[in-house]
Amino acid sequence: MCGIAGLFNLDGAPVAPVSLRGMIRMLGHRGPDDTGIYSRNGAGLAHARLSIIDLASGHQPMCNEDSSIWITFNGEIFNYLELKEELLARGHTFATRSDTEVILHLYEEKGEECVQYLNGQWAFAIWDNQRRRLFLSRDRLGVRPLFYTQTGKTFLFGSEIKAIFANPVVSREIDLTGLDELFTYWCPIPPTTLFRNVHELPPGHSMTVDAGGIATRPYWDLQFAVSPEVVDPCHEASYSDQLLDLLADATKIRLRSDVPVGAYLSGGLDSTMTTALVKKVTNAKLRTFSISFDSAEFDESTFQNEAVHFLNTEHQDLRCTKNQIAEVFPEVIWHTEKPVLRTAPAPLYLLSRLVRNSGFKVVVTGEGADEMLGGYDIFKEAKIRRFWESQPDSKMRPLLLRRLYPYLQNIQNQPDAYRKAFFHINVDPKLQPFFSHVPRWQLTAKLKTFFSNEVRAQISADDTYCKVRKGLPESYPSWNSFSQSQYLETKYLLPGYILSSQGDRMAMAHSIESRFPFLDHRVVEFASKLPASLKMKVLNEKYLLKRCAKGLIPPSIANRHKQPYRAPEACSFLEPAARAYMDDLLSPEQIRRDGIFDAPAVTMLVNKFRKGAAIGTKDNMGLVGIISTQLLIHHFINHFERRMAPHDA
Amino acid sequence: MTLNDELRAFVTDSFMFGKPYEGFADDDSFIEHGIIDSTAVMELIAFLENRYRIKLLDQDLIPDNLDSVNGLARFVESRLPPNLTGAYDASRIVLGT
């Protein structure tokens, strides 16, 4: 795992090595083991390396046999050994043992279609010197990040936006569309980012850049099948066997590494399953890592301990406090490069530090199972709301809402009449394609109350969800509602928040590479063809996964009620460690200077927290969103030069 | 300050952070306009119990009583001691704070 950056002067002007060095230096945390640059013919590539495969000869940027094609690559190609065999058979010669070189030769062989053959997680740029063309690509699900911009005749790209900003020709301004989208969907919708004129290459897309301009195209998208809802029990066993075989192979190829691989173990079904699969395919002693909390509301250590005992792993736990969350939060936002509405990334930042300090560079983790195999409460909630919608006068159907969110006391304690009202079922017909997500998006959008009048006047209020609607596949209306909600979750929240703000950015902050067996595209494509009833049987989430996990994980974990990963929220900012920045960032003067939020409204919200008033979801998200936005402005707009190495500034 | 004024100020400050939408009326439903969420209901109940020294029973927790400024005012009026109903003046009455 690594950091990549580069630039391309479309007019052929030479690229100064100092520019490339300045960019890649900003990504040192992604690749502390080695750096390299290449520039020629108006193009330049840079690389910061985290050595995992072929430690001795995997230096990048790397070229093909005749030096006509160069690559800078962040990620892993897990099927590189199989691809290499085929390429050798076709006459290619290899100078290294790396997966990087496999991409180069595959590109020679297949051109831009090479990405169709890759099983992995990647962001790379290939410079084709003869054609004077840059080819960039990002993996199917968006595990690895890639950003770009064009200013005048110069195209720049990087694993993180900070690398692009290291080039002084790039201006740094907040993009209000990105902000508006984040305060609706929890993430900007690619190619929009939080910075004006800086774009994100969407997952499953490739792009070419040459004198003719920039062309972006999708090479893969999620496609769900219209499946029979009733499954013969005999077929259930077959589906379960197929899923287990796929997961075992997905895990096996994700253990390909020249350094030891550890595993995250949250105490939930997914990470316990991936850990069990690692144990199933290797005999080596496995190191596992987890987070625990003092507050019982968030803590899962009982289940973590059960999993450790059952799977016999060598385990390390990070006991995370609210004060630690407050302490690292500014650094967390330096890495996320966008606001967050939850503090949940902060403990993961601390966890990756623990893993790194324990001598590990690679972990296997369980992300992706909830999206593809039907684990999230939002799917369950939508199912109950649909069930209720079919008989709106029913007194019994809404009672099912009690079964939702047993871990949220607010929901459990509220009067029935209110519970019904909050889980409204009367969705505007125009919004039916988003039925599952409308309550979440509408609740989040309420946070825009805190925006200043100037910002509110500039963000578009018309044609709700227009951009998401335009991005839906043609076949979307023919899918069942369960698949539709899976698509929305997998297409937007997964790459835009789970795999980035909680995933890549928190792990790579401490040079840790995460690998995700559930996001192997073969698993994803298999899951997308499954009948919805095998994902959530009545209200039993991840039904098929539980079935194939039998015997591999402790029954108590297979049968427990799903508890999503959560951390102590905005109350963390009342801790001593937050004093160092809260008063400055949220002072009425600073809020007015930065211009995004309404100063009196922010003061009222902060006072409400300090008074210890009852704090709900909206208030929590509001305060975390405001602090993180102010930190973003602090780091990237007001004081970016402070973060650059002295000789770059 | 009338009872309506006081309740309206509480709702505006606590749930709308001093930024009521244009045309916010005393009959507007808090739920329909997304003014309160599940926690806000609890906060609202705590405020009523503390400020007006009244006790809300389970059967009181219905939108008719709690879902608009006017609904709240009617409900509070019905629970205040007889000497405090009618021309309510918040500055004159020593209740909870």
| Chain mean pLDDT for chain A | 92
Alpha carbon distance A638, A596 (integer Å): 14
- The confidence band for B96, taking pLDDT boundaries of 50, 70 and 90, is low
Percent of chain A exceeding pLDDT 90 equals 77
Q: Is A448 on the interface with B (CB under 8 A)?
A: no
- The confidence band for A649, taking pLDDT boundaries of 50, 70 and 90, is very low
| Burial classification of residue A551, based on how many CB atoms lie within 10 Å of its CB (0-12 exposed, 13-18 middle, 19 or more buried) | exposed
Q: Residue B61: what pLDDT?
A: 82
For the cut 90, the answer to whether the pLDDT of residue A490 exceeds it is: yes
Q: Residue A227: what pLDDT?
A: 63
String of DSSP letters for A157-187: EESSHHHHHTSTTS---B-HHHHHHHHHHSS
String of DSSP letters for A299-323: --HHHHHHHHHHHT-EEEEEEE-HH
pLDDT digits (tens, 9 = 90+) for A497-513: 999 999 999 999 999 99
What is the average pLDDT across A442-449? 91
Q: Residue A184: what pLDDT?
A: 95
Using CB atoms, pick whichever of A421, A604, A615 lies closest to residue B39: A615
CA distances from A371 to A66, A264, A379, A508 (A): 44, 18, 9, 23
Alpha carbon distance A422, A440 (integer Å): 11
Q: Residue A443: what pLDDT?
A: 87
Q: Residue A88: what pLDDT?
A: 97
- The confidence band for A297, taking pLDDT boundaries of 50, 70 and 90, is confident
pLDDT digits (tens, 9 = 90+) for B32-84: 888 887 778 888 888 999 899 898 887 888 888 999 999 999 999 998 877 66
**With contacts defined as CB-CB under 8 Å, which chain A residues touch B38?**
410-411, 414, 418-419, 422, 616-617
**With contacts defined as CB-CB under 8 Å, which chain A residues touch B61?**
415, 417-418
pLDDT digits (tens, 9 = 90+) for A512-560: 999 999 999 999 999 999 999 899 988 889 999 999 999 999 999 998 8
Per-residue 3-state assignment (H helix, E strand, C coil) for A71-99: EEEEEEECCHHHHHHHHHHCCCCCCCCCH
| Peptide linkage before A191 cis (omega within 30 of 0) | yes
pLDDT digits (tens, 9 = 90+) for A446-472: 999 999 999 999 996 656 799 999 999
**Of A582-591, A621-630, B60-69, the least confident:** B60-69
Taking the CA of residue A185 and the nearest CA in chain B, the distance in Å comes to 17
Q: Residue A176: what pLDDT?
A: 96
Q: Residue A235: what pLDDT?
A: 84
Determine the residue of chain B that is closest to A447 in CA distance: B16
C-beta of residue A456 within 8 angstroms of C-beta of residue A188: no
**Of A144-153, A178-187, A311-320, B44-53, the least confident:** B44-53
- The confidence band for A398, taking pLDDT boundaries of 50, 70 and 90, is low
**With contacts defined as CB-CB under 8 Å, which chain B residues touch A415?**
41, 58, 61-62
Determine the residue of chain A that is closest to B21 in CA distance: A449
Q: Residue A417: what pLDDT?
A: 64
Q: Residue A228: what pLDDT?
A: 58
Alpha carbon distance A242, A225 (integer Å): 17
- β-bridge pairing A362-364 and A261-264: parallel
C-beta of residue A535 within 8 angstroms of C-beta of residue A382: no
C-beta of residue A328 within 8 angstroms of C-beta of residue A299: no
**With contacts defined as CB-CB under 8 Å, which chain B residues touch A619?**
39
Using CB atoms, pick whichever of B18, B41, B43 lies closest to residue A613: B43
For the cut 60, the answer to whether the pLDDT of residue B97 exceeds it is: no
Alpha carbon distance A2, B22 (integer Å): 51
| Binary contact (B31, A601; C-beta < 8 A) | no
C-beta of residue A343 within 8 angstroms of C-beta of residue A325: yes
For the cut 70, the answer to whether the pLDDT of residue B86 exceeds it is: no
**Of A154-158, A188-192, A401-405, A584-588, the least confident:** A401-405
Q: Residue A239: what pLDDT?
A: 94
- Residue A69: strand, helix, or coil: strand
| Binary contact (A614, B17; C-beta < 8 A) | no
For the cut 50, the answer to whether the pLDDT of residue A426 exceeds it is: yes
| Binary contact (B19, A449; C-beta < 8 A) | yes
* Contacts with A525 (C-beta within 8 Å, 6 or more apart), sequence order: A223
Q: What is the ipTM of this complex?
A: 0.71
More confident of the two residues B32 and A480: A480
| Binary contact (B38, A410; C-beta < 8 A) | yes
For the cut 80, the answer to whether the pLDDT of residue A302 exceeds it is: yes
Alpha carbon distance A540, A375 (integer Å): 9
What is the average pLDDT across A128-132? 94
| Binary contact (A422, B38; C-beta < 8 A) | yes
Nearest to A133 by CA among A24, A21, A219, A12: A12
pLDDT digits (tens, 9 = 90+) for A310-325: 999 999 999 999 999 9
Q: Residue A561: what pLDDT?
A: 80
Using CB atoms, pick whichever of B16, B19, B62 lies closest to residue A417: B62
Q: Residue A155: what pLDDT?
A: 98
Determine the residue of chain A that is closest to B43 in CA distance: A614
- The confidence band for A395, taking pLDDT boundaries of 50, 70 and 90, is low
Taking the CA of residue A319 and the nearest CA in chain B, the distance in Å comes to 28
* Contacts with A99 (C-beta within 8 Å, 6 or more apart), sequence order: A53, A76, A77, A80, A120
Burial A454-466 (b: 16+ CB within 10 A, else e): ebbeeeeeeebbe
Q: Is B61 on the interface with A (CB under 8 A)?
A: yes
| Binary contact (B39, A410; C-beta < 8 A) | yes
**With contacts defined as CB-CB under 8 Å, which chain B residues touch A615?**
39
Percent of chain A exceeding pLDDT 70 equals 93
- The confidence band for A408, taking pLDDT boundaries of 50, 70 and 90, is low
Q: Is B95 on the interface with A (CB under 8 A)?
A: no
